Structure 1
Amino acid sequence: MKKNILILGAGLVAGPHIEYLLSKKDLKVTVASRTVQKAKDLTKGAENSAAISLDVNDIVALNNLIKTADLVVSLLPYVHHVTVANICIEHKKHMVTTSYVSEEMRKLDEKAKNAGILILNEIGLDPGIDHMSAMKIIHEIQSKGGKVTSFQSSCGGLPSPEANTNPFGYKFSWSPHGVVLAGRNNAQHLKDGKVIKINGEDLFDNFWIKHVDSLGDFEVYPNRDSLSYIETYGLKGISTMFRGTFRNIGWCNTWKKIAMLGLLDNEKKYDFEHLTYSSFLKKLINGQEDDIRRAVAGYLKLDYNSEILNRIEWLGLFKNIKPSLKQGSALDILVSVLYEHMQYQPGESDMVVLQHEFECEYDNKKEKILSTLIDFGIPNGASSMSRTVGLPSAIAANMILHGDIKLNGVHIPVLPEIYQPILAELSKSGIKFEERRN
């Protein structure tokens, strides 16, 4: 009898995920989406599929769907995961998500164990492939009696070099909200035994340049809380622990200035009926000059010909035309112009860059290990981001259903019984790391 996988959500990472599961003919794949057409487009009428409409806030309908599944994959926004998890526990169904484990999710560990189910989270790219590829090397070092003294890891989803055609060096596959809000996160990491804490407003002051072979130079800035991973990765006593984000050159200084303009504020709401982009910007900075570029240059203490001003102007924020939005916050205006100007065009591809740097000590020697994943999207096909997020979760779901991963409780993929088979399967899809040791 076929096992039934229920996939909640049909967003931008769902394509490769669903395609992989549909290739397993012993599975029945049910895709539930608010917009049923999205689910139909992704299942393509496959014999072992079903596409249905679901409002995730309809708890009765959600409950009935989960009850008939053998495993549930939640590709919904993270705010829905705990609701789904509680229903999965009630009906003793395994669950997979690509999102970070929230405190509420962590608290369900005991209940999940008692129900005899696995709730596997953080099984995408970042988080996901980053954990698995790091743990593979960490466990290998430790099994040889070595100790990791420094671990630095950075990841970024960027346009491929051919598609890198705008002054920001960035394009969005989906709503820019998440990327923009991530620029307001506090961060902390460990450097040479010292804890470095960074407030959200100072995040973009704390970047440096890093070279990646075959691609060139990138900016790297801290990604949230790196310290929590010392325990997660079993690296007690480590002196340097850093997780960062890759962006193209110019990103950090530009976003620092965008924040100074007040464009990241999501609290104050405006009526844009009688405002243009330039008059709104002037309002934000209390500008008196007619020349909006000169007013912004003065406010930000930038040269009139600054590259940063070129980027802001390229977004259309100096134009004397009305925004398409009628009401909203400064952040809403920013998000709308970002999405309008920075989407991938047909035939363009993205890329994912993930790099780990390890320093380790053995009794008689020291070693450095550089492990790098560079993956490109398929022009007019699946993006690298959708493959690297969607495939690990699909592989995990299939393996759980077939009894290849036998765990209960709330987990992330840091155990060998999870990461070894998944990394092996990913390499068959061309998602694999190059290692250099010295």
Structure 2
Amino acid sequence: MGKNILALGAGLVARPLVHYLLEKTKHKVVCASRTVSKAEDLVRGYARGSAKPLNIEDKASLEALIKDCDIAISLVPYIHHVTVAELCIKHKKHMVTTSYISPAMRALDKAARDAGILILNEIGLDPGIDHMSAMRIIDHVKKHGGKVTSFRSYCGGLPAPDANDNCMGYKFSWSPRGVLLAGRNNAKYLEDGKVMEIPGPELFKHHWYLNVPGYWTFEAYPNRDSLPYREQYGLQDVRTMFRGTLRNPGWCRFWYKMAQLGWLDDAPRTDLPGKTWAQILRPMVPGKGDLLEDLGKHWDVTPDSDEIKRIKWLGLAGDEKVPSAPNLLDTLCAHLIKKLELKEGERDMVVLFHEFEAEYPKKKEYITSTLVDFGVPKGDSAMSRTVSLPAAIAVRHILAGDFSMAGVHAPVVPEIYNPVLDELEELKIKCVEEYHRR
């Protein structure tokens, strides 16, 4: 007998999840969204799919929807997940999200266990496939009498090479705000037993090149705090623990310089409307001569440098009026989404790369796990597929009673990661593992 699935949110990653659940199961799916037309588009043509309007801040309406479902999938902004979780606990409904487990969510573990429900978080790409593919190798090493001494993990969403046709080496399929703000996060990781701490303003200065064998060379920089993953992955004795982000070369150097000028500032500004880009840039740059020449001197780069080429290409020294926005960051974001838009028919790309060093009583091993997935032209993006399909697969297994645990969890146990990774492989999302003896 079919059950009732509630999908909260109809944004850019929702389509593969909703379609999977309507095509691969016999369950009903209610898609609830503030913009009901988006939800209607997702379920159009499916007899078991329906759409409902929902303001996620309307707790009474949200509760009514949760009360009628068997499982809720929260694809709304992460700030609302705890509210959804509390209602799921109240009505004893399972819940799935693709977001990191926040301290407030973690605090609901006992209540969820007492209610006998599973709240499965971090079941997307990053976090999600990264956890599952890492734990499969870590558990394999332990099972064969070894221990992991070094773990490095890198992930990035980028334009596919055939769509990488601008000097920025990047395109956005949704708001650039989160991507740019990631460059202000503090970072912490373990390198050969030493804790490395990088303050947010210095993050983009702290990068290096990484070659993914069989593919391309990228730029890598640290992704927030890697240290808690020692415990989460059962690697308390590991000497190197690093999680990083991948971008095309030149990204970090450019955005470090842009941040130094103040372009990532989100403090309210009332003086921006009516100004040109050049009028905004001029006060940031010492000197009274040619703006680009002065900028080159300030940045200590030549006129034909990549940084100056990017400023020219973006038009940030030009006479175009800036879009209306409450601060400098959002003004820039509104401009970037137009200049760096992933156009219809273009493909995006997801790259996830793990490196392990393992020791056994009589040998050492270097292990890699590589996932490269491409979007489907005029179809689903690689990012939407890799974020939402792990969650969709997990929902199917939860409703089938395949997962025995209750409480707040991430997918780091074989009971979850094996069936999810196996089915992702059937859907052509495969992590290729290679083992090299040293």
The alignment's TM-score, normalised by the length of structure 1, stands at: 0.98
User: Where does the alignment leave 5 or more consecutive residues of structure 2 unmatched?
Assistant: none
Q: Equivalent of 1:377, from 375, 378, 393?
A: 375
Deviations 1:26-70 (A, max 9, x none): 200000000111001111231011111111111110010000000
Report how far residue 226 of structure 1 moved: 0.7
- Between 12-21 and 24-33, the greater mean CA deviation after superposition: 24-33
Report how far residue 274 of structure 1 moved: 3.4
- SS of the residue 2:309 aligns to: helix
- Between 305-314 and 251-260, the greater mean CA deviation after superposition: 305-314
2:301 aligns with 302
Q: Are the aligned partners of 1:260 and 1:300 in contact in 2 as well (CA < 8 Å)?
A: no
Report how far residue 25 of structure 1 moved: 4.2
Q: Following superposition of structure 1 onto structure 2, how do residues 11-160 of structure 1 map, counting pairs within 5 Å?
A: 11-160=11-160
Report how far residue 290 of structure 1 moved: 5.1
Q: Work out whether 1:257 is the aligned partner of 2:242.
A: no
Q: Work out whether 1:391 is the aligned partner of 2:399.
A: no
2:359 aligns with 361
2:350 aligns with 352
Cα RMSD for the two superposed structures: 1.1
Q: Partner amino acid for 2:196?
A: I
Report how far residue 143 of structure 1 moved: 0.8
- SS of the residue 2:265 aligns to: coil
Query: Distance between the aligned counterparts of 1:284 and 1:115, measured in 2?
Result: 56
Query: Distance between the aligned counterparts of 1:270 and 1:180, measured in 2?
Result: 22
Query: Distance between the aligned counterparts of 1:418 and 1:284, measured in 2?
Result: 51
Query: Distance between the aligned counterparts of 1:12 and 1:275, measured in 2?
Result: 32
Q: Partner amino acid for 2:143?
A: S
- SS of the residue 2:231 aligns to: helix
Report how far residue 300 of structure 1 moved: 2.4
1:403 aligns with 401
Query: Distance between the aligned counterparts of 1:255 and 1:321, measured in 2?
Result: 21
Report how far residue 214 of structure 1 moved: 3.0
Q: Following superposition of structure 1 onto structure 2, how do residues 327-342 of structure 1 map, counting pairs within 5 Å?
A: 327-342=325-340
Report how far residue 360 of structure 1 moved: 0.4
Query: Distance between the aligned counterparts of 1:68 and 1:290, measured in 2?
Result: 67
Report how far residue 292 of structure 1 moved: 2.1
Q: Partner amino acid for 1:159?
A: P
Q: Are the aligned partners of 1:272 and 1:322 in contact in 2 as well (CA < 8 Å)?
A: no
Query: Distance between the aligned counterparts of 2:413 and 2:85, measured in 1?
Result: 21
Structure 1 residue ranges, 4+ long, deviating more than 6 angstroms after superposition: none
Q: Percent identity?
A: 54
Q: Partner amino acid for 1:418?
A: I
- SS of the residue 2:270 aligns to: strand
- SS of the residue 1:165 aligns to: coil
Q: Are the aligned partners of 2:357 and 2:366 in contact in 1 as well (CA < 8 Å)?
A: yes
Q: Partner amino acid for 1:407?
A: M
Q: Are the aligned partners of 1:27 and 1:48 in contact in 2 as well (CA < 8 Å)?
A: yes
Q: Are the aligned partners of 1:426 and 1:432 in contact in 2 as well (CA < 8 Å)?
A: yes
The alignment's TM-score, normalised by the length of structure 2, stands at: 0.98
Q: Partner amino acid for 2:359?
A: E
Q: Partner amino acid for 1:308?
A: E
Q: Are the aligned partners of 1:316 and 1:337 in contact in 2 as well (CA < 8 Å)?
A: no
1:2 aligns with 2
How many residue pairs are counted as aligned between the two chains? 436
Q: Are the aligned partners of 1:148 and 1:235 in contact in 2 as well (CA < 8 Å)?
A: yes
Q: Work out whether 1:232 is the aligned partner of 2:227.
A: no
Q: Partner amino acid for 1:234?
A: G
2:313 aligns with 314
Q: Equivalent of 1:414, from 406, 412, 415?
A: 412
With over 3 angstroms needed to count, the CA separation of the structure-2 counterparts of 1:380 and 1:274, relative to structure 1, is closer
Query: Distance between the aligned counterparts of 2:96 and 2:242, measured in 1?
Result: 27
Deviations 1:232-266 (A, max 9, x none): 00001111111111110111101111101100010
Deviations 1:148-202 (A, max 9, x none): 0000110111111101111111111110111011111110111111111100111
Q: Partner amino acid for 1:324?
A: P
Q: Partner amino acid for 1:214?
A: G
- Between 300-309 and 406-415, the greater mean CA deviation after superposition: 300-309
